[in-house]
Structure 1
Amino acid sequence: MLFILFTIVLFKMADRTLPKVNIFIVLSLISVAVCEVVEVYKREVYLDECAAGADGPKGSKGPRGNKGDTGSPETVSTNWNHCTWYHKNDGSDNAQVASCSFTKQYSDTSLYVSLSGNLRVAYTNGACGRWYFTFNGNECSNPNRIEAVVYGGGLSSYNLHRPKVVFGHCNGLSSGSYTVGFHVGNCAGYGYYDTYTGWNSAMHLMIEERTPSPY
């Protein structure tokens, strides 16, 4: 409505002062100018509505949250292996008489090994036999070797088969695959004598990965 009134006023002024031909030129210029003003206004409104402002300053640290509830106990899981033989009847005097494979999952755990079976040394007064564990061919050194020594003395003719249990922990073993061997050999300062492993009975070799001792 304002645009129409403004146009009429200009038309009257132009009608008194300008030739007829210039009236239409003036009106055309006015229309173009008004249209440009309207378009500029539309663009400014659109940009004000859509443009994102700058990020505000970083807020202060919020208060500490409440302590959570104690979780339920974790399910106990163990990593172990069990190898067994029946009537092994191994008369070796210096050899690996049994072995069992194992995969150790962690580098900061210990391996617990045990063997239960029949071990014997015989026939010679002062005879001695040594049975021991190895891990990939090497004896344990942390905390110590895992071994058992059987000595026979006072008789020159004997053949006593007795059940034995040999066990211990080995620390400092890296994670990975292991062959746990059980061997028989000579005692320190002694030669090789008539030894026997697993006579007429079952023999069990157990391997278990355990968390480090707190002591």
Structure 2
Amino acid sequence: MIASSTLQCLFAALILFLNAVDSNNPKSDQGSVGACSGVPGIPGTPGDNGLPGRDGLPGRDGGMKGAKGDRGDKGATGKTGPKGSLGQRGSMGPIGIKGEKGIKGNLGERGEPGPQGKNGIANSINWKQCVWNTHDDKDTGLIKECLFRKRHSSTALKVAYAASIRALCPGKACCGRWYITFDGAECSPMTIEGLVYSPDNNGEPLQHRQIEGFCKSIQSGSIRVAVRVGNCPGFGSSDRYSGWRSVSRIMIEEYPQSQN
């Protein structure tokens, strides 16, 4: 059952409503129901969401730049990656500036002698011959001189003299000596020479003979190679003849020195 107080309030509200409807009584007493409170009504259904609003205007200059932050801690070293493929070779750079000359080093120890090399071809083909077809009846002195250019100081010279020669002294034995000189001096320690001995003979013992040999220790350069005639040791002068009716010659060759 509804309480009496509630009924009273409902009744007073009805009277107030009717007075408000009555246009002939605008000054109806509205305070007669002030002592009565209405019962809360049932909440209404929520309305739909409104449409989204328009985008706002962009800010000026994108805002102020913030202060620089503190540097972070150093990260751990990463693993070494695989070796890359070889790139193309670059072009040659410019030649660098010549460096200063270094300090001369100390002289090293002498090494063991190497094996002897083979005889070179260039040395054996350096040769010359001087040829003449005139006789010489000189008993002592220069017969013929031949100029030769020696290429190396370490080589030897082979010299040969070929001619028809004789030594004659009627009524007694005699001897003549034909020998080779180099710039006026004989080879040392061994000379290049040939002796022609004749016993007591009144004939003409002319024969073609050849005198030859090697001479070492001759410096390179221009050499005057000569053939001379003179006395044999222990014999005096005699009648000597060089180059009778035949070609005479001096042959000179440059050779590598032998180990012997």
TM range (shorter): 0.5 to 0.7
1:177 equivalent in structure 2: 222
Given that residues 119 and 256 in structure 2 are in contact (C-alpha distance below 8 angstroms), is that contact kept between their aligned partners in structure 1? no
Given that residues 139 and 230 in structure 2 are in contact (C-alpha distance below 8 angstroms), is that contact kept between their aligned partners in structure 1? yes
Task: Note if 1:105 corresponds to 2:159.
Answer: no
Greater share of residues in helix: 1
Among 116, 119, 142, the residue aligned to 1:96? 142
Task: Note if 1:121 corresponds to 2:167.
Answer: yes
Gaps of 5+ in 2: 1-58, 67-117
Task: Note if 1:133 corresponds to 2:187.
Answer: no
Q: CA deviation at 1:123?
A: 3.1
Runs of 4+ in 1 over 6 A off after TM superposition: none
Amino acid in the other structure paired with 2:188 = S
1:204 equivalent in structure 2: 249
Q: 1:92 & 1:176 partners in 2: Cα distance?
A: 30
Structure 1 residues 74 and 208, CA, compared in 2 at 3 Å: closer, same or farther? closer
Equivalent pairs counted in the alignment come to 148
Q: CA deviation at 1:6?
A: 10
Task: Note if 1:9 corresponds to 2:55.
Answer: no
Larger gyration radius, structure 1 or structure 2 = 2
Q: CA deviation at 1:126?
A: 1.3
Q: 1:195 & 1:204 partners in 2: Cα distance?
A: 18
Task: Note if 1:160 corresponds to 2:205.
Answer: yes
Among 79, 84, 88, the residue aligned to 2:126? 79
Q: CA deviation at 1:10?
A: 2.1
| TM score, norm. by length of structure 2 | 0.53
Q: CA deviation at 1:75?
A: 8.3
Q: CA deviation at 1:128?
A: 1.0
Q: 2:178 & 2:169 partners in 1: Cα distance?
A: 18
Greater share of residues in strand: 1
Structure 1 residues 153 and 75, CA, compared in 2 at 3 Å: closer, same or farther? closer
Given that residues 123 and 158 in structure 1 are in contact (C-alpha distance below 8 angstroms), is that contact kept between their aligned partners in structure 2? no
Q: 1:74 & 1:190 partners in 2: Cα distance?
A: 42
Task: Note if 1:149 corresponds to 2:160.
Answer: no
Q: CA deviation at 1:159?
A: 1.7
